[in-house]
Amino acid sequence: MSKKRQLGFYLDSGACIGCKACQTACKDKNDLPVGVNWRKVVEFTGGSWKQEKKNLVPENVFAYYLTVSCQHCENPPCLPVCPTSAITKDDDGIVHIDPNKCMGCQYCSWACPYGAPQFGKKGEPMSKCDMCADLRTIDQNPACVDACPVRALDWGDMDDLREKYGNVVAVAPLPDGAYTNPSMIITPHRKTNLPGYFAKLPESDPKGKDVIGPNTVKYQKL
Amino acid sequence: MSKISDTIKGIFSIHPDTLAAKRAKRPVDGNWVPVVCWHDCGGRCALKALVADGQVVRLKGDDTHPDSPDYPQQRACVRGRSQRMQVCAPDRLKYPMRRKHWEPGGGDKSLRGKDEWVRISWDEALDMVVSELKRVKENFGNESIYCRGGEIKRTINLFGGCVDSWMTDSYGSWMGTGKRIGLYHKKTGSKFETFTSIGDRMDMRNSELVVMWGANPAWSSPGSPTWHFLQVKKAGARFIFIDPFYSSSAALLGDDWYPVRPGTDHALILSIMHTLLMEDDPEKNPLIDWDFLNRCTVGFDAGHMPEGVEPSENFKDYILGLKDGKPKSAEWASEICGISVDRIKQLAREIGGTKKVALLTSWAPARINNADSWPQAFMTLGCMAGHLGQSGRMTGTSSHVGAGNGGRPLVFAGGNGLVEIPNPVGAAANYQGGRPDGGISIPGNQLWSAILNGEYTEGKDKTRKVDIRMMVHSGETNMLASREGQKKGIEAVRNLEFMVCNAMFLHTTAQYSDLVLPVTSQWERDGLLQDDGNREAVFMGSKAIEPLFESKDDIWIAREIGARLGLDTNLIESATLPQQIYNSASGAMVITEDGKDYEPLLTITEEDIQNLGAVGKTQTGRIPFKEFKEKGIYQVKRSPNDNYGFIPLEDFRKDPEKFPITTKSGKLEIHCQDLAEFVNGCGWSEIKPTAEYIRPIEGFEASFSDWETKTKGEFPLQFYSIHYLRRAGTTYNNVEWLREAWPQDFFINTLDAEERGIRHGDTIKAFSRHGAVIRRAHVTNRIRPGVTCMGGGAWPEWDEKHAVDKAGNANVLTGDITTGQGTSGWNSCLVEVGKYHKQLLPDHLWPSRTLFKSKRHE
């Protein structure tokens, strides 16, 4: 029996400028509301400043970016945890969520180390990247790939991608590739191995008492 | 039903009309209409809109030809890709609206910006503008009406004119300085102003070293420039970044980073030049190109001064400290700019010791108070090292339309054919330094104080009275958010009797107006050819959707007001839109293959003209008009060693006597009397004819109460405004996808944050002597300690009780300070930062400024 096909993404992290054109093109193509991001861009930065005679000087200050969608893993951890068997892997290796079976329980998003399955609001099924299945049927690239202003993204059969770009599948701050066998090949940024830290902005509590929002705009009812 | 079962139902039952269901019904392909991304970002990119049932379903990028580094697709940035959310935003203004408590004379003016809005009809709205124009003109004269531009200005000019203003805009001091010293020059023998002094992208690949001084194209010039720079990198160039921020461009390209303090670039560059002078040895260690200096410049040393100038005024003596006893050494500059002595010397050796260097700067370092001589200092370094006028060697600005790609246009649009209507009262556009014919043109930095105090500076020892009673804003102008001294701006407009604004959204200028007129976007009408992006392509958008709600084209508003004033509407709209399209198409030219001349771009047939509804002649060009209209773009195909390259000053370098440049002396002016006379004549502060350092107002030195003992003052941190991918200028600020992707955070270094007990994500208050903002802190080591920054252009949300702007408009922190040639000072500002006691709702959860809800968006 021949091996099943596995499609995947390629990212040149050395070229990625973190501009989020891919994330936004994805939102436009798939009509995603605020809060639902099938593709996300993370900044990884570190380094420090030290006093050297009269001056503060940077020491190993670096930054690079990774754009990450569903990794269409060979061992997708989202799949076995789904209580309604809504998640499947198709012949191309693409991981799908069937919106008609999904009941929006969010187990898959808890299981996924990449935060790929997205929860919109109560009553909506989970959703995530399907590598623009509809565009692929008409021989077009996924929207993110064609949107990249620095041509850092590619896609294709994983065997071809490995041949073309190597076999790195994880760099900080992504999880170890051995965990899920992700289908994304990465060319690491030249500063990938520098010591650093990863900081995530704390989520504000939108309902908190002390939260400040904009002024209410007033209008006369028609 | 019990509560628990309700909850279970809520979680586990999926509604039939979910987003997923809607998504499944969306078309993938169909009717693609080329649309433009028309904002003032410096780029132009190709976009197509998929239109179904009169709605734009989604966008796609440039697919008109296969992509390659030499002949790249014109791919849009994050902002262009979000434009569907702008044009079709829920907060698009739908109807004309009047401020509830406005009445002739202003009513309760203090309510501006926070009053209720009342929907009115177009007839009521137009009558209101007309009666106010007449009332103000009759009582106070046309000199009391202010308007800076847009179609409505044609009407007002015909009505007797209005007061205008000028400012240095994004150029900073390059605006008045560049052309006088010879760095923004007209290419000899060319029909076109190039306004660039850098080579084209193909020749840049020949550079061995690229110095990016204050330039971050990844954020400031999205679109193609960063891609072009990556090709330069791949061709083997080393990249040095001189910037307070370890930018995304530095992360992409940088081999080295010099974290200079904002506003101290001039001190740093002087010390680089001092090092070159100290270490240069024509035999053993040639760092200075004396041949270039001697042949192509004036003013460097006593032996090469312009005619009639004292030899002691030379620049070299200033650098060596022979005039003031202070050599501008690395030791002198180090404590100002924050770069160590060793590193300054290393930088100097690299710039002087590398054969082919591209010395590039953005306009940002020139957007400080007292920046008038900075461009001259930058040029002088280029001249000393000889990095001009040869392949791979260039010195100049890489910004906006000229980012990473200099030279005359390879393809350009024809004019629109509109008859110019002169303004009898004020100037037509930027008349920097006062209008020669005596008209009223207010310096931008003094606009708010001119409204409040009734006078402005018109030149040295010259003030002029002005009495502005009404303001008319058109186009996309949002000057109340984009000018320094935002707080004073509000005070000023609350002093007016009437303010009207054409707008698509309730941006700041619209918010503080008395009457807001909803206008269409460029997706709601056919467009003209646009060549205001890069030099290699022209674009044309077609109408994708019908005008939304009651919005009207700006020209319709101008014409209707004109008709009510009894003016000649055929002069206001002297060419119809179809006729303007024909004019811009028939006049479009493209460079011939030999690179020596231009030929018509478009073949226009009788059928094309009929379809357009225009009058004109048929013509033969390179491609059919129909094909161009369908694609929405024509791009010149490039390849290395094609005939379209550009090396500025090449002829001049070979023979400066035969090919002089447009300065007074015909050479690059290291001593420029013309510049000093111009700047000193403006009436604010004075400069010397050579590039001497002047401490910026609100610069690093001013952050100390005592510079000698290094005692910090009340505002110890520097602040500057960056270009941020959330916006282009103030445009796009409301787009929710961009609010989510690029939150308006306040960037501060880890050490400064720790000192103040601030953690990443905390809400902070930043305050200057001009105003205060609250924002979320983005604590990072990518910014130099002692320096903070924030994206420019946010729309203020004032908490008037606590006197803070919650949205983080950078101009709340900047002041309306005037120095030199009236340069905008967005990058010289001092602040203090502290933790704020309340938490700030994340930007993407802020509700939109939707005034009237509609079914369309439910």
- pLDDT reported for residue A212: 64
What is the per-residue DSSP string for B690-745? S----PPTTSSGGGEEETTTTEE-SS-EEEEEE--TT-BTTBTTT-HHHHHHS--P
| Residues B743 and B835 occupy one common structural domain | yes
Provide the shortest C-alpha distance from residue B415 to chain A (in Å): 31
- pLDDT reported for residue B433: 59
The DSSP bridge partners found for residue A63 are: A45
Q: Is A18 left (phi over 0), alpha (psi -120 to 50) or beta?
A: left
Please report, for the domain that includes residue B61, its CATH number: 2.20.25
The pTM for the full model equals 0.95
Distance between CA atoms of residues B319 and B328, nearest Å: 5
Given a cut of 90, whether residue B800 has pLDDT beyond it is: yes
Question: pLDDT tens digit string along A107-130?
Answer: 999 999 999 999 988 889 999 999
Distance between CA atoms of residues A116 and B473, nearest Å: 45
| Residues B253 and B371 occupy one common structural domain | yes
| Residues B675 and B782 occupy one common structural domain | no
Establish, for the pair of chains A and B, how many residue pairs have beta carbons separated by less than 8 Å. Answer: 250
- The answer to whether residue B594 sits within a structural domain is no
Least confident of A100-114, A165-179, B450-464: A165-179
- As a whole number, mean pLDDT of residues B45-50 equals 96
Block residue for tokens 């902005």: A201
Distance between CA atoms of residues B744 and B809, nearest Å: 9
Interchain proximity A63–B248, CB inside 8 Å: yes
Least confident of B171-185, B283-297, B770-784: B171-185
Provide the shortest C-alpha distance from residue B28 to chain A (in Å): 7
Whether cis (ω within 30° of 0) applies to the bond prior to A173 is: yes
Provide the shortest C-alpha distance from residue B20 to chain A (in Å): 7
Decide: B536 and B635 in contact? Cβ < 8 Å: yes
Q: Is B26 left (phi over 0), alpha (psi -120 to 50) or beta?
A: beta
Interchain proximity A220–B117, CB inside 8 Å: yes
Please report, for the domain that includes residue B707, its CATH number: 2.40.40.20
- The answer to whether residue B437 sits within a structural domain is no
| Residues B717 and B802 occupy one common structural domain | yes
- pLDDT reported for residue B377: 98
Contacts of B740 in chain A (CB under 8 A): 34-35, 37
Helical residues (DSSP H) of B414-504, grouped into ranges: 447-453, 479-482, 486-493
Which of B57, B738, B852 is nearest residue A219 as measured by Cβ atoms?
B852
Taken in order of first residue, the domains within chain A and their CATH numbers are 7-187 (3.30.70.20)
Amino acid in the structure at residue B782: R
- The answer to whether residue B247 sits within a structural domain is yes
Decide: B796 and B508 in contact? Cβ < 8 Å: yes
CB contact residues (below 8 A), chain B span 735-774, against chain A: 736-742, 749-751, 760-761, 763, 774
| Residues B780 and B674 occupy one common structural domain | no
Question: pLDDT tens digit string along B362-397?
Answer: 999 999 999 999 999 999 999 999 999 999 999 999
Q: Which of A217, A218, A221 is most worth mutating to test chain B (most B CB atoms within 10 A of its CB)?
A: A217
SS percent in chain B: helix, strand, coil, step 5: 30, 20, 50
| Residues B673 and B717 occupy one common structural domain | no
* E-assigned strand segments in B559-685: 589-591, 598-600, 602-603, 623-624, 633-635, 668-669
Interchain proximity A24–B224, CB inside 8 Å: no
- pLDDT reported for residue B2: 45
Contacts of A150 in chain B (CB under 8 A): 226-227, 230, 252
Average pLDDT, chain B: 93
- As a whole number, mean pLDDT of residues A207-217 equals 57
| Residues B767 and B660 occupy one common structural domain | no
Q: Which of A38, A140, A212 is most worth mutating to test chain B (most B CB atoms within 10 A of its CB)?
A: A212
- pLDDT reported for residue B5: 44
Q: What are phi and psi of B757, to 5 degrees?
A: 65, 30
Provide the shortest C-alpha distance from residue A85 to chain B (in Å): 14
Provide the shortest C-alpha distance from residue B111 to chain A (in Å): 12
Question: pLDDT tens digit string along B579-635?
Answer: 999 999 999 999 999 999 999 999 999 999 999 999 999 999 999 999 999 999 999
- pLDDT reported for residue B22: 82
For residue B437, name the pLDDT band (cuts at 50, 70, 90).
Answer: low
Provide the shortest C-alpha distance from residue A114 to chain B (in Å): 18
- As a whole number, mean pLDDT of residues B743-758 equals 97
| Residues B657 and B731 occupy one common structural domain | no
Contacts of A60 in chain B (CB under 8 A): none
Which of B252, B506, B850 is nearest residue A17 as measured by Cβ atoms?
B252
Q: Is B694 left (phi over 0), alpha (psi -120 to 50) or beta?
A: beta
For B851, the closest chain A residue by CA position comes to A219
| Residues B80 and B194 occupy one common structural domain | no
Given a cut of 70, whether residue A206 has pLDDT beyond it is: no
The residue among B332, B473, B42 whose CA lies nearest residue B215 is: B42
- The answer to whether residue B801 sits within a structural domain is yes
Decide: B296 and B667 in contact? Cβ < 8 Å: yes
Please report, for the domain that includes residue B206, its CATH number: 3.40.228.10
Interchain proximity B18–A125, CB inside 8 Å: yes
Interchain proximity B506–A46, CB inside 8 Å: no
- The answer to whether residue B720 sits within a structural domain is yes
Interchain proximity A24–B738, CB inside 8 Å: yes
- ipTM of the complex in this document: 0.94
Provide the shortest C-alpha distance from residue B278 to chain A (in Å): 23
- The answer to whether residue B837 sits within a structural domain is yes
- The answer to whether residue B343 sits within a structural domain is yes
CB contact residues (below 8 A), chain B span 301-360, against chain A: 334-335, 338-340
Q: What are phi and psi of B188, to 5 degrees?
A: -55, 130
Number of domains in chain B: 3
For residue B8, name the pLDDT band (cuts at 50, 70, 90).
Answer: very low
> Domain residues for B706?
701-845
Given a cut of 60, whether residue B12 has pLDDT beyond it is: no
Contacts of B807 in chain A (CB under 8 A): 214
CB contact residues (below 8 A), chain B span 12-51, against chain A: 12-15, 18-24, 26, 28-29
Question: pLDDT tens digit string along A141-155?
Answer: 999 999 999 999 999
Given a cut of 50, whether residue B766 has pLDDT beyond it is: yes
Contacts of B742 in chain A (CB under 8 A): 20
| Residues B677 and B711 occupy one common structural domain | no
Contacts of B29 in chain A (CB under 8 A): 138
**Above pLDDT 90, what percent of chain A?**
72
- pLDDT reported for residue B349: 98
Given a cut of 90, whether residue A193 has pLDDT beyond it is: no
DSSP state of B683: S
The DSSP bridge partners found for residue A181 are: none
| Residues B754 and B678 occupy one common structural domain | no
- As a whole number, mean pLDDT of residues B452-467 equals 93
- The answer to whether residue B134 sits within a structural domain is no
Provide the shortest C-alpha distance from residue A103 to chain B (in Å): 5
| Residues B388 and B271 occupy one common structural domain | yes
- pLDDT reported for residue B427: 59
Interchain proximity A104–B14, CB inside 8 Å: yes
